[in-house]
Amino acid sequence: MNTHPAIASQNVAVITGAASGIGLAAAKKFASAGMRICMADINASELEKAKSEVVALTSSGEADVLTVPVDVSDFPSVEKLKNQVIDSFGQVNVLMNNAGTALRARTWQDHGRWQTLLNVNLWGAINGVQAFTEDMIAQGKPACIINTGSKQGITCPPGNTAYNVSKAGIKALTEGLQHDLRNTEDCQVSAHLLVPGFTYTGMVSAHMPKKPDAAWLPEQLVDYMVDRLGDGDFYIICPDNDVTEEIDSKRILWGAGDIANKRPALSRWHPDYQQAFADFMKE
């Protein structure tokens, strides 16, 4: 199995949203690879509870794990996070901008929720990129930046436009970041867009106490992510126990076809196109 060169013993991973779910699973995976870990999360008490799970997997115990309570929507706090990591570990090889919230906000209502969603989901990733990237390039070592997006930021299903906008922004941000990185002389930093499938995280368990059969565990998703990073993939679009890679690809192609074929917006959910979409998926 190939491994991204940034994922190596004694290298340093910084993960936001690390107190639970995908972030905690990533922290444990990187710790198992011998990396030193900085876990960042807005929930300080949950962060400290999660720390012991990661410490148990490291080679040097607590010396290998730094926990930093941080509000990713506040740029000075993210800059402070970067400085604490550099002061403690001297470098950053993996940055995982993973912190997020899944509030529901209606298209022309819930202005405060719109602000929160964009500040955490989108600005949290922007702030991470702005605070860390230049230093990671200057290190002159293999490194990667992983931004957690969503299929809702690609196919944009109706129901929570604010969330879709926040994750579509992450997609555009990460695509532009990778373009700029690969056109920067002597740059050894790569960017990657992580797009989870149905994953049983805290956001889901709050509404579904029992894991649905269709959902992956966070650990399954992180294993898949690491494999895809090793393959050098930019788009890491994860399947689950219900949706295959082929289904995802067709759904994405149909959505792009709305523009290319001059169909109504979100035609996949338009009653006049239900049969055409069903036929397309069967092809």
Pick the closest to residue 163 from 124, 109, 105 (CA basis): 105
pLDDT at 1 (0 to 100): 59
Pick the closest to residue 129 from 174, 93, 87 (CA basis): 174
Burial of 204 (0-12, 13-18, 19+ CB in 10 A): middle
Beta bridge partners of 144: 94, 190
How many other CB atoms sit within 10 Å of the CB of residue 30? 28
How far is 133 from 43, CA to CA, in rounded Å? 25
Q: Is the pLDDT of residue 169 over 80?
A: yes
Pick the closest to residue 190 from 201, 203, 180 (CA basis): 180
207 or 79, greater pLDDT: 79
3-state secondary structure 121-139: HHHHHHHHHHHHHHHHHHC
Domains of the chain: 12-243 (3.40.50.720), 244-283 (no CATH)
Pick the closest to residue 57 from 98, 26, 91 (CA basis): 26
Q: In this predicted model, what pLDDT tens digit does every residue of 2-56 receive, in sequence order?
A: 889 999 999 999 999 999 999 999 999 999 999 999 999 999 999 999 999 999 9
**Which of the four pLDDT bands, split at 50, 70 and 90, describes residue 209?**
confident
Q: Is the pLDDT of residue 98 over 80?
A: yes
pLDDT at 208 (0 to 100): 83
The secondary element (H helix, E strand) that includes residue 191 is strand 189-195
How many other CB atoms sit within 10 Å of the CB of residue 243? 16
How far is 215 from 197, CA to CA, in rounded Å? 8
Residues composing the chain: 283
Average pLDDT rounded to a whole number, residues 177-205:
94
DSSP helix/strand/coil, 146: strand
**Which of the four pLDDT bands, split at 50, 70 and 90, describes residue 151?**
very high
Phi, psi values for residue 141, rounded to 5°:
-125, 155
Compute CA distances 22 → 8, 88, 99, whole Å: 20, 24, 9
Q: Is the pLDDT of residue 112 over 80?
A: yes
- Asked if 199 and 240 count as a contact pair (C-beta separation under 8 A), the reply is yes
Average pLDDT rounded to a whole number, residues 148-159:
97
- Would you state the torsion angle of the CA atoms of residues 108, 111, 115, 118, taken in this order, to the nearest 10 degrees? -20
Average pLDDT rounded to a whole number, residues 68-97:
98
pLDDT at 126 (0 to 100): 98
Average pLDDT rounded to a whole number, residues 188-200:
97
Q: Is the pLDDT of residue 259 over 90?
A: yes
Tokens for 259, please give them.
């523009």
Q: In this predicted model, what pLDDT tens digit does every residue of 230-250 receive, in sequence order?
A: 999 999 999 999 999 999 999
Q: Is the pLDDT of residue 205 over 80?
A: no
Compute CA distances 92 → 70, 95, 99, 149, whole Å: 17, 7, 18, 21
